[in-house]
Amino acid sequence: HDYQGEGAPVQQPIRLEEALFGGRTEAFVPHAEATETVELRYRDVLKAESSGSPGMTEDAKAAYMASFFEREGVGLDKVEENPGLRFVAKIFLNSLWGKFCQRDDLTSTEIVDSYEAWLQRLTDPSIKVKSPEFGGAGERAFKYANVPIGVFTTSHARLRLYEALEGLGTRVIYADTDSVVYRCSLGEYEPPGGSSLGQWTDEVPAGCRMVQFTTGGPKLYRYVVEKPD
């Protein structure tokens, strides 16, 4: 993408292949503060119900729920801010693909009833036979891990994240799989937001302003928010 016409020239192009290496979080700048001309933004992927509907009237909220159902085919019941429920929803969301990739190389027990099946396992380069037992009963452990399913969601999330990072260039302060913190001045490019699943949304509450962000590395950060009152 070329965002130069939108006020955000890319000074250091990001190599997408580098997303395959290293950790999934990145701290680009240890400390940043907002000024009169520079704002700090914290964009995250929308969690529809528990993210709330800041600044919406009841009519606007009803219109949003109807529009969401039309786009996503999902009926929202209670759209209200609930930090606890939002945290639980995020845990469940991460577990959906995280569990598929968790400890996929555990030892499993299997019963074979023919010489051919036994020979096949001995000669399979992807299987390491640890302790065979002949002639006795045993148990078979089912293996539910599925790495392709597990990496599908995170891979697509990486592409969305790197698309945002590419446009922001050196203004990025911190990034995670589904969130990014960056500096922003008037007229500069910002990742487009929205109210559908998977779209970017503001993590800072409506009417508030982030004035300071400090990070010591992946998953270690703090930020200060200035409220209107």
pLDDT at 99: 64
Assessment of whether the complete model's pTM goes beyond 0.75: no
Check residue 207 and give its pLDDT: 86
Per-residue model confidence (pLDDT) at position 96:
63
Helix (H, G, I), strand (E, B) or coil at 180: strand
**What does the domain layout of the chain look like in residue ranges?**
4-226
User: Rounded CA gap, 141 and 132, in Å?
Assistant: 15
* Structure confidence at residue 25 (pLDDT): 58
Q: Report which residue type is found at 51.
A: S
Two structure tokens written together for 143:
């293996």
Closest to 88 measured CA to CA, from 53, 54, 50, 52: 50
- pLDDT tens for the chain, residues 1 to 229: 333 444 443 444 445 555 445 445 566 788 889 998 888 888 775 555 445 555 567 777 777 777 777 776 767 666 666 667 666 766 666 666 666 666 666 667 777 878 888 888 888 888 888 877 776 555 555 556 677 777 777 777 788 888 888 889 889 999 887 889 999 998 899 988 877 777 788 888 888 999 999 988 878 889 999 998 7
Q: Which two structure tokens, joined as six digits, stand for 219?
A: 């998953």
Q: Looking at residue 119, what is its pLDDT? A: 87
Q: What pLDDT shows up at residue 3?
A: 39
d(CA 154, CA 217): 20
